Amino acid sequence: MDSPIIKSLLNHITIDPASNRAVYLQLSDGILILIRQGKLKTGQKLPSSREIAKLFNINRITASKAFDELQMQGWLESFIGRGTFVSSHIPEPDPEKLQDIVSNKGIKTAGFELHENHYLPNPYFIPNSDLHLDDGYPDPKLAPLKELYRAYRNQLTRSGLYDKFGSYSFPDGSEFYKTTLSNHLNETRGLKTSLKNILSVRGTLMGINLVCTGLINPGDVVVSGIPGWQRAEHNFIHAKAQHIGIPVDEYGVCVDELKKICKKTKVRMVYVTPHHHYPTTVSLRIDRRLELLRLANEYGFIIFEDDYDFDFHYSRRPLLPLASADENGMVIYCGSFSKSFSPAFRMGYLVASENVIKHLSNIRVLLDRQGDHILDNAIADIINDGTVQRYTRKALSIYQGRRDHFCNLLKSELNKAIDFSVPEGGMTVWTEFDKSINLEKLAAYAYSKGLYISDGSLHRYEGYDQNAIRLGFASSTIDQLERSVEILKGLI
């Protein structure tokens, strides 16, 4: 070998024959690291493939493949009769900016300025515990997974593969899905839609983000109830809107407060969860519903209706959405199958006037060329064959039983420490704890015992001091609910 220095450098390269990565790629990676570190310099001659093979006890063909790989990438150049050299086109590295890329598995900090926003960190926590009183999630064990799998598989095996897989399609969703969903919403929610009123989205948050991107300008006023869903509020802030909160009482958002705001300033949008307000679960009373629609017509603001768990109402038939009484196209209605089946399935939809759907579809292309048409069509199949309807009836009965048992447990075991109202619907109980109970500490202690509950941080606002959290019951069995309450009782 020509240079003992180069030999010494190459000896730092480790080849692991047992690795899943090919040996020639391990060798080329090692040489590349030496070049990028400036240890192998521009124009420096490398040993021949024969010498490399001998040094690493590998086949000469393997060594040649490593050289070929680096030549194709432009790091090495070869000349007949002269040998292989580090490319002359590589600039000399700046010693002050060199990083030890052998020890660093990944770059932690970007070299460019990053404008971080306080609302972007994800406060949600995936519980790694046996027990959980979560934010109000469905039980995936009840979901029609076999039927959905069969419908998805059928979509993959049907004819017309190029039409389905060979190119991009409609950003608003497949016609089959939109037609099926339109009929479903008209029958179950009293809406008056056609397929042109439907936009398939990945979930409620994507729907909110699309509306904020396509319909909200910097400085626009967006109003919502406090306490509310912070993920929606973060979208308003991200769109540089002016967010104004209005109170929520036992009858839902205080529409009279909204009216006062409308008289003073131009409101662009009002975000509401009228069926079961998030997080308190209360339903918006009929007089307030009608007044909200009247104010929208009078002042020209958008109503974004987030109907995240319409199907799960226990005391009577679900309240029909605001959108069912909207005659002037003021309501954008948003729903989700994710809240019914499982959050893992990203299946949501927006319903609005045709021109709004067309506009938001064009905006969607900038973010996501199209949705999962195969999954959408599979959902349409299990709507058409009645699977979704049967699942909803079954889950509704089970969740009601869990709600009743859970509320009885809370009342009998924790009555002195908490206050709550039995929710008319949804999958969670809005529970106010005694002021002496620190929810952050309680959540930490509970987790150490194998129980996940919220620490209340999602529902804190300046000027709002209710010491309350959501205790989800739907995703737990009766036995799990009993064990969970037993842990809370022991801690409190």
CA nearest neighbour of 422 among 283, 329, 324, 325: 283
Give residue 1's pLDDT.
Answer: 46
Whole-model pTM: value is 0.82
Domains of the chain: 4-97 (1.10.10.10), 131-137+394-491 (3.90.1150.10), 145-385 (3.40.640.10)
Give residue 381's pLDDT.
Answer: 92
Give residue 165's pLDDT.
Answer: 65
Give residue 9's pLDDT.
Answer: 81
- Joined together, the tokens standing for residue 483 give 């064990």
- Joined together, the tokens standing for residue 21 give 């990565």
Which residues have CB under 8 Å from 100's CB, separation 6+?
37
Give residue 342's pLDDT.
Answer: 79
Give the count of beta carbons closer than 10 Å to the beta carbon of residue 170: 15
Instruction: Note the pLDDT tens digit of each residue in 259-285.
Output: 999 999 999 999 999 999 999 999 999
User: Rounded to 5 degrees, what are φ and ψ at 421?
Assistant: -115, 140
CA distance 87 to 71: 8
* Size (the chain), residues: 492
CA nearest neighbour of 432 among 408, 452, 416, 413: 416
User: Rounded to 5 degrees, what are φ and ψ at 268?
Assistant: -90, -40
Give residue 102's pLDDT.
Answer: 47
Considering Cα of 415, then 417, then 419, then 422, what sign does the dihedral take?
Answer: negative
Cα-Cα-Cα-Cα torsion 477, 478, 483, 485, nearest 10 degrees, comes to 110
User: How deeply is 113 buried, as exposed, middle or buried, from its count of CB atoms within 10 A (0-12, 13-18, 19+)?
Assistant: exposed
Which residues have CB under 8 Å from 185's CB, separation 6+?
191, 193, 335, 351
CA distance 422 to 315: 10
Which residue type is seen at 40?
A: L
CA nearest neighbour of 279 among 79, 456, 443: 456
Give residue 25's pLDDT.
Answer: 93
Residues 488/455, Cβ–Cβ less than 8 Å: no
CA nearest neighbour of 188 among 285, 331, 320: 320
Q: How far is CA 425 from each of CA 50, 230, 239, rounded to the nearest angstrom?
A: 75, 21, 32
Give residue 75's pLDDT.
Answer: 93
Residues 463/247, Cβ–Cβ less than 8 Å: no
Give the count of beta carbons closer than 10 Å to the beta carbon of residue 309: 25
CA nearest neighbour of 12 among 31, 25, 28, 38: 31
Which residue type is seen at 419?
A: D
Residues 440/455, Cβ–Cβ less than 8 Å: yes
User: Which residue numbers in the chain have pLDDT < 70?
Assistant: 1-3, 93-105, 121-127, 161-168
Give residue 94's pLDDT.
Answer: 61
